[in-house]
Amino acid sequence: MSDFGVYIHLPFCLSRCGYCDFSVVTDKDDSQSAYVSALENELEFWRERVIYAPISLYFGGGTPSRLRPEFWTRLIEKFADLFGLTPEMEISCEANPESASAEILSLWKDSGVNRISLGVQTFHPEHLSNLDRRHDPEGAFAAVERIREAGFDNWSLDLIYGLPGQTLDEWKTDLKTALSLEPSHLSFYNLILHPGHPTTEKAEAAMTPDSEDIQSEMFLLACETLQSNGYDVYELSNAAHPGRACRHNLLYWRGGEWLGLGMSGSSYFWQSYFHNPKVWPIYLNAWEGVPSDLPFKVKQASWEAQLLDFVMLRLRTSEGFMIAELEDLLGRNVGIDFRRLLLEMKNHGYTQSDEDRVALTPPGWLVHSEITSRILESLLRKEAN
């Protein structure tokens, strides 16, 4: 059986950041009780149907640190009653500096949370302001201090590169400052520009002909810097000290199964996808009680979708995939064309493949989508023949 984890979406935010495309609410703090009731109903519904023991529980958002303590307690106790909480489980909570209070951190710690992911994004005040973040660099340093004081030794910082007008030197400084705080894990994301979002306009205004090259340099610099400072870059946006990779995220990339609860939560198991409504009132209506059947459609994953997920997700990780696993999925040998393609990619420095395994190098990660497409094209062409 593959690993199984649970994600719980807590969509509450103080305001929407200029680049954010997540499913969030900024005016529903008074309705946190109704939201937690809907989550409790979801937990009950799924408990009847899913019998696996989770290896991880991940509270993401939104801003989980904005959930009021009394609702946190209700939610975690419900989860513990239904699914159980064990010391072996990885239990992560995302937090933002301005709401990661000593009170909430200590409550989390007491209830079994053992991993924190702090959304810092950058240490430059003007870039924080461009992103419409609600904290300043001092707020981030103070939050790290509180995380430590609460007794967490497994915690992560999120950084973003490719910010409007950001220089390579500024990115270097962000990495250096992050490293000086000694997080056990660091995520580094390339800014994604969504049409019509305030940050997109700023990024487009600041764009130069070499912006894309600079972002590639930023990515390679991050991989190099983190590796030379004792971090394992175990996925194209994530690095960790040995033993501190995020087990919950690894489960997504390694083909595990998960339940995604809450507004916009999506789940994958029984080789099917389940998507919760993304809109607040529709989500609350769907889970007003414990339904006898799923209140939304189930999408069976086609064989092609499973193949795409396998190649795309595994190639995000530094371990890549074993050719034998791919052959199991295909039900045949990969064939000579595929082996030739691997050799071509290896000669370009994109893969570190051997006879048995395919994994990308940092330059390969820069063209991860293109490589995924070429591999699929080669495998499906063979299938069509």
Residues that bind ligand SF4 (CB under 6 A): 13, 16-17, 20, 22, 24, 61-63, 96, 119
| Buried b / exposed e along 308-322 (16+ C-beta atoms within 10 A) | bbbbbbbbbbbebbe
CA angle at 161 for the pair 243 and 65, rounded to the nearest 5°: 60
CB-wise, 62 or 262, nearer to ligand SF4?
Answer: 62
CB-wise, 194 or 340, nearer to ligand SF4?
Answer: 194
Closest distance of CB 161 from ligand SF4, Å: 15
CB-wise, 58 or 310, nearer to ligand SF4?
Answer: 58
CA-to-CA dists, residue 142 to 66, 102, 131, 272, angstroms: 17, 10, 20, 43
Q: Which of 182, 179, 186 is nearest to 119 (CA)?
A: 186
- Give strand ranges (E) for the chain: 4-10, 56-61, 90-95, 115-121, 155-161, 185-190, 232-235, 238-240, 257-261, 266-269, 272-275, 298-300, 321-322, 357-358
CB-wise, 115 or 197, nearer to ligand SF4?
Answer: 197
Closest distance of CB 62 from ligand SF4, Å: 5
CB-wise, 13 or 379, nearer to ligand SF4?
Answer: 13
Contacts of 137 (CB under 8 A, 6+ apart): 123, 124, 125, 128, 177
Closest distance of CB 106 from ligand SF4, Å: 22
Are 323 and 354 a contacting pair, CB within 8 Å? no
CA-to-CA dists, residue 23 to 16, 62, 143, 190, 265, angstroms: 10, 7, 24, 19, 9
Closest distance of CB 97 from ligand SF4, Å: 10
CB-wise, 9 or 247, nearer to ligand SF4?
Answer: 9
Q: Residue 80's CB: how many other CB atoms inside 10 A?
A: 14
Closest distance of CB 63 from ligand SF4, Å: 5
Closest distance of CB 231 from ligand SF4, Å: 24
Strands 232-235 and 90-95: unpaired
Closest distance of CB 134 from ligand SF4, Å: 8
Closest distance of CB 119 from ligand SF4, Å: 6
Three-state SS at 217: helix
What's the DSSP call for residue 256?
-
How many residues belong to the chain?
385
CB-wise, 63 or 353, nearer to ligand SF4?
Answer: 63
Instruction: Quote the tokens at residue 48.
Output: 């009847």
Show the DSSP H helices in 132-286 as ranges. 137-149, 168-180, 198-206, 211-228, 247-253, 280-286
Closest distance of CB 61 from ligand SF4, Å: 5
